[in-house]
A and B are shown apart, each in its own frame.
Chain A
Amino acid sequence: MDHITGSQEQAAGTELPGIPITLTINGRKRELSVAPWVTLLDLLRERLDLTGSKKGCDHGQCGACTVLVDGKRINSCLKLAVAYDGAEITTIEGLAQGETLHPLQQAFIDRDAFQCGYCTPGQICSGVGLMNEGRASTRDEVRELMSGNICRCGAYTNITDAVMDVLEKEGAK
């Protein structure tokens, strides 16, 4: 599965006539023309300079590319951007309110939930998706429902702590 996919050079997707689509990304509406083979991840990173979402594996196996589409977490590396015409996309760049971090971003800092940080944007978007789903309340549930995000540095324990902190705060409200 280690083939060079060539998606980097194709990523800009400007060399061939594109398909017009509208995406609302982090609250901003964008009219774009995109070649059909451009993934949402490549569109975000290579064309829109939203490089927070990371390309770990490009095959759905790591979760580093996790973003929210209409509030639901998905792997942006396996999604063609054209298929999301009309959708609302939230990336790690769109979670904070001005200078105020999203509670889960703050919890990652407070709990030291990363080392190199490469998996972190995906982890945080995934954690927000998990909260939207409302299916996790125990540590076991958080661990299982965060299992789509691999952390090569092994920060799992602190990641679980961070997610639990926010879940508990939300629950207490």
Chain B
Amino acid sequence: MAGVRLSGVTKRYGAGITVLDNIDLEVHDREFMVLVGPSGCGKSTVLRVLSGLEPVDAGEIRIGDRVVNDLAPRDRDIAMVFQSYALYPHLTVFENIAFGLRVRKTPKQELARLVGEAAEVLSLSDKLEKLPRHLSGGERQRVALGRAIVRKPQVFLFDEPLSNLDAKLRVQMRAEISALHKRLQITTIYVTHDQVEAMTMGERITVLNGGHIQQTDEPLTLYNTPANRFVAEFIGSPPMNLMSLTKKDGVFQYAGHPLPFTGNTGAAEPSLDTVLAGIRPEHVDVAEGGGGLPAQVVLVEPMGGETIVYLALEDGTRLVAKIDGMRRFTLGETLMVTFDHQQIHWFDPRTERRISL
């Protein structure tokens, strides 16, 4: 059992491209840490430097109490599930799972027992003699998991393991991987670009963008107090609405409209002339009359339990509202929009950092 700590880790490809820029990340022993960010932000690179497949240009990597910077992948006691699964095509399921054990010269009987156990946990017992190419996508995924868990390493690294599965299987495997983690209690770093996966699976989540860590927190903390504009927009679906407000007569206003939220706004950083207000779709309400900002209905997505309404304000700014239940809306109709003013997030438009009132 071991925690993982990256301190000041920097990784460059060639001279120009800095893929990881001074990353500090601590993953506790037994923790399930999700690393989330858009494609190309450096998530896989974090796993690759952690596993030793790529050297770092600066910084220190610790697994447990060992500095592993100079250790080869095989000496780091980690297991990795690749996005492509990377199953050995010429070996049966049994041999794929047994591969790491054989390399470590595990005695025959123990090897058979361990592989059998792993196969049992992953419902692969009747597939052991098959070759990977005769398996379905979900089964291949399980074999890749089996190969990782059978060795009981100190750390699991998952690189977007579910991205090749269809939606239904993805939801199922999500739960299975979470259950597996509860059972095995092995420190896990799980990479995904899907914020739903991150929110549902992570004990803590690290948001990465452009090779920088944006925020590390528990899922709900991340959702309720995003540290900056990027996190605010990245976490949550549909994404958070952002409106630029300008101060006039000591009060922040939107496009000259008297704002539906008052009072609290005046207390924002007094030096700022403009602020970004972030409002989650579920905190936007619409009504057929009364006060608020007038907005036109552009698109309606009835989801059953809730309805997503896309609105256009008078200056063309788009807003998304998530309305409980199945209220009916007509395209083109004008509604009055109000916000739950307790739930507004404020960001400095220059630094894009969160500011508090």
A and B interact:
no
Show the binding face of A for B, using Cβ within 8 Å.
Answer: none
